[in-house]
Amino acid sequence: MKNGGLDMNLLDALSRRAEAFIDSFRREQVPPGGIFAAIKRDIHDYIDANYRGPIPGEVVKQVYNEILTAALSVVRPLKVVYMGPEGTYSNQATMEFFGATVESVPMRTISDVFHDVEAGKADFGVVPVENSNEGAVTYTLDELIETDLQIVAEKYTRISCSVLSKDGSLESVGKLYTHPQPLGQCKGWLRKNLPNAEICIVESTSRAAEIASVEKGAAAIGSSAAAGIYGLNVLADHVEDSRQNYTRFFIIGRDRTKPTGKDKTSIVFSIKDRPGALFDVLSHFKNTGINMTKIESRPDKKKMWEYNFFIDFMGHREDTKVGEVLVKIKSDAIFLKVLGSYPVAN
């Protein structure tokens, strides 16, 4: 039933909220890298602290995401690129972070995402960086070393995998198409339920679904959204081995973010080949009381048997203590690069 007074008050409040967003973006001369993520994080924190139902708080957050994205588009049209095609988990993360109304364009590879943002063809890119079960996405780490782009935000997305096929039962599946990441996340379930299926590796979950949509006796591991896009049946849902299965995504852009008071910084560095070199770098975090949240090593592609170290830690590059640590690391390291400071994701 309609409730004229209530609906009118709601529409009026939404209009005033959108106008306030627009004013904020105009004052900041959009797009400074972190203003979108910072406002979004503050709103989500406020909803978590104050919203009392009855519908889920995540639904309310999505409403705010759509208003925020639409307000930004009034000031300047916003274009986001992600590793496609449509229906990938990167597509899911993009819609969750920016809202469904943003202009989002799928790219063929992670490298293409970086290239389009670097070239100014897109405002932001969304790339996977690590999975809670399978670890780092090395393609993204390698691109971060080479690019001049900045990490402007992070997004954690719950990954739920499904088995998709044109056929109607698991018994008919003779071949399974999948990307390596979801394959690793579902290997226990597959051993038990599809032990005889031939495993075929492809470049994305959406490509897997696309092949399964035209090949008889084939199935794919992908998102339930991909089933609708490619006209597939969901033969089994939630086939990931762990329910705590999340992928962390970076939102990359051309501008640095401003401090919000609740930030994280990512760096990459290489060190001299001597005893205790890594310990010396890590001790700077302990001595200054800065919490290091992640460390990852990758082979240096330019020098055999040498490594680059990726570290995430709490704080913003403009914080006094963080600045002091970066100076000390630079004196110990052969190479140091700040990949970005950005609001901590909820």
Q: Token digits for 309?
A: 């170290």
Using DSSP, state whether 286 is helix, strand or coil.
helix
In angstroms, how far is CA 301 from the centroid of its own chain?
25
CB-based contacts of 240, cutoff 8 Å, min separation 6? 133, 159, 160, 161, 182, 185, 186, 189
Tell me which H or E stretch contains 21: helix 4-27
Interatomic CA distance for residues 23 and 191, integer angstroms: 55
Strands, E assignment, the chain: 79-83, 103-107, 124-131, 135-136, 150-158, 162-165, 175-178, 198-201, 218-222, 233-236, 246-253, 263-271, 292-299, 307-314, 333-343
Interatomic CA distance for residues 96 and 25, integer angstroms: 20
What is the residue whose two structure tokens read 């009855």?
54
List C-alpha distances in Å: 316 to 114, 246, 262: 23, 24, 8
Q: Are 229 and 87 in contact (CB under 8 A)?
A: yes
The one-character DSSP state at 171 is G
Active site residue ranges = 247, 249
Q: Token digits for 252?
A: 């990359």
DSSP helix, strand, coil percent of the chain (3-state; round to 5): 40, 25, 30
- Domains observed in the chain: 4-159+246-253 (3.40.190.10), 163-236 (3.40.190.10), 263-343 (3.30.70.260)
Phi and psi (nearest 5°) for 169? -150, 155
Measured from the Cβ of residue 201, the count of other Cβ atoms closer than 10 Å reads: 10
The identity of residue 154, as a single letter, is E
Provide the pLDDT for residue 75: 83
List C-alpha distances in Å: 217 to 34, 178, 186, 235: 47, 15, 20, 12
CB-based contacts of 17, cutoff 8 Å, min separation 6? 67
Q: Are 329 and 278 in contact (CB under 8 A)?
A: no
Using DSSP, state whether 22 is helix, strand or coil.
helix
Q: Token digits for 214?
A: 């035209």
Provide the pLDDT for residue 32: 46
In angstroms, how far is CA 241 from the centroid of its own chain?
21
What is the model's pTM?
0.84
Compute mean pLDDT per 10 residues along the chain, 346 residues long, and list them: 77 91 77 67 88 89 88 85 88 89 90 96 94 88 95 92 92 93 91 94 90 94 88 93 90 90 95 86 94 91 79 96 95 94 89
> b/e per residue, 279-293, with b = 16+ CB within 10 A?
ebbeebbeeeebeee
Mind giving me the DSSP string for 176-200? EEE-HHHHHHSHHHHHHH-TTPEEE
